[in-house]
Structure 1
């Protein structure tokens, strides 16, 4: 068995490329034991097998080249343990973030699959809904520009890993007082349902009480609410109910997942009580 190995032989031992070894040589991370001055061929010792293996494992842990160089600089047990502990903590944090992202994507896929099966559009139905919490800055929106800024401000306030796209967490609040005055486009503000209150200013959090809601799905834009609200208010009166709170207009399918206007879907939820 030989000690001196060609760059190809040495690379094969650790299942890496020769270009990776050349790169490690250029940056001073792992030098060959000899370079033939005539041919420029690099040769490595089998005794470097452990060092190369350690480099590969540290790279798998996500260490940068500078971090690996530090690891090999005057190695001792305490230093190595401290570095590995730091990297382990980073890895656990990343795993947690990936788990949160996976859960979020799974929820979004299920939501989109379920909501795409809704067939009773513009039909009114009654359902019981549990308490929810939202974040809002209570700023009125009048047009698409206002809407864009409102959504951006809400997203920036959250400290979540997973993106908000393709979810049913956005919505608009239509004030009860305006409905009584037949003002369906006045004082409309954007909100987001929240999952985690950490690092969110409590002053911006509102509880949406549990209760009975008259609901309707419709296709169109967020601004196409008036005709549907009038129909729902009429229905509520006919069924001997009364509106008992602010109305929610929730995005179910929006432009984050489709360019087709006819596929955009909203749900209106009106809190009601019997007279």
Structure 2
């Protein structure tokens, strides 16, 4: 049966609530409601002049729900006060902006989680590696990198300027510099380490943001997925030369079909600035897909 206009009006009949009742219904403490009153955020509809009791209309509970929702978004009380003055159209635009902000924050958290995951895997692969100075085959996923082309940087150089440029690019992308970094050079039989010159230096990134790179010879690239010959060692004495030779001998002995690019990846294992530098290094060469 259809309700009459009077019956519908009765459903919306206004009645008053004490501050204790509002606190119970809204799950907000009495102290908080009094504070909201003092800062003109949420005021009672009337105050009894005889006993100073605060009374609210039941319809006001709707505004408390809005306040709680805005606080959940991380807004300060001053920001909440400002939002409550917006027109419906302005509020829609404001909430759309907040939705975009949350989406960006969500992406950042996903990237942060990926960085933590990769860092854990790096430590497990490097620091906890049980087969140091022994060749193994590793299956590796594609890795997104920021790389800078070089022509005169050798293994024994310290390319601070080049990594500074990469760091600036990562900052512009909203990412951070990875403590694991490296370079790529052609596989060959070198007389000494001084003869090895990198084609490019790189570090990893996990962000998907697209930016205009304003540095010459810098680009976003990918180390392809696949199986890699890998050898890990602490950088000391002649370990680099020894392990590089082991890779060359393995390839010759097994007639392994490889892509002739060596990726060397460096990871510091002594993070205290006051201590001497210590590094673990991984040399890896991608096997040709069969």
TM tier, smaller: 0.5 to 0.7
Equivalent position to 2:192, from 176, 179, 182 = 182
Secondary structure at 2:129's aligned position in 1? coil
Change (3 A) 1:97 1:19: farther
Alpha-carbon distance between aligned partners in 2 of 1:160 and 1:43, rounded to the nearest angstrom: 53
| Cα distance in 1 for residues equivalent to 2:226 and 2:114 | 28
TM-score scaled by structure 2?
A: 0.63
Output aligned runs, 1:1-275, within 5 Å. 3-6=16-19, 9-33=21-45, 43-47=54-58, 48-73=60-85, 75=87, 77-113=88-124, 118-125=129-136, 134-138=145-149, 140=153, 147=160, 150-158=162-170, 159=172, 163=176, 165=178, 170-173=180-183, 175-176=185-186, 180-184=190-194, 190-195=201-206, 196=208, 198-199=210-211, 201=213, 203-205=217-219, 214-220=229-235, 224=236, 226-233=238-245, 236-237=248-249, 240=252, 245=260, 247-251=262-266, 254-255=269-270, 265-270=280-285
Between structure 1 and structure 2, the one with the greater Rg is: 2
Write the deviation string for residues 207-237 of structure 1: whole angstroms up to 9, x where unpaired.
65788865311135xxx38433244326514
Change (3 A) 1:232 1:81: closer
The alignment's C-alpha RMSD in Å is 4.7
* Whole-Å separation in 2 of the counterparts to 1:111 and 1:214: 17
Pairs aligned (count): 261
Any unmatched runs of 5+ in structure 1? none
Following superposition, the deviation at residue 14 of structure 1 comes to 2.0
1:187 shift after superposition: 5.3
In structure 2, relative to structure 1, the CA distance for the partners of 1:42 and 1:53 (3 Å cut) is farther
Normalising to structure 1: TM-score of the pair?
Answer: 0.66
**CA–CA distance in 1 between the matches of 2:184 and 2:122?**
24
Encode CA deviations 1:155-174: one digit per residue, 9 max, x unaligned. Answer: 331255565557xxx32326
Structure 1 residues 44 and 87: alpha-carbon distance in aligned structure 2, compared to 1, 3 A threshold: farther
Taking the aligned partners of 2:73 and 2:287, their CA distance within structure 1 comes to 55
Partner Cα distance (2:142, 2:107) in 1? 27
Indicate how the Cα distance of structure 1 residues 160 and 12 shifts in structure 2: closer, same or farther if over 3 A, else same.
farther
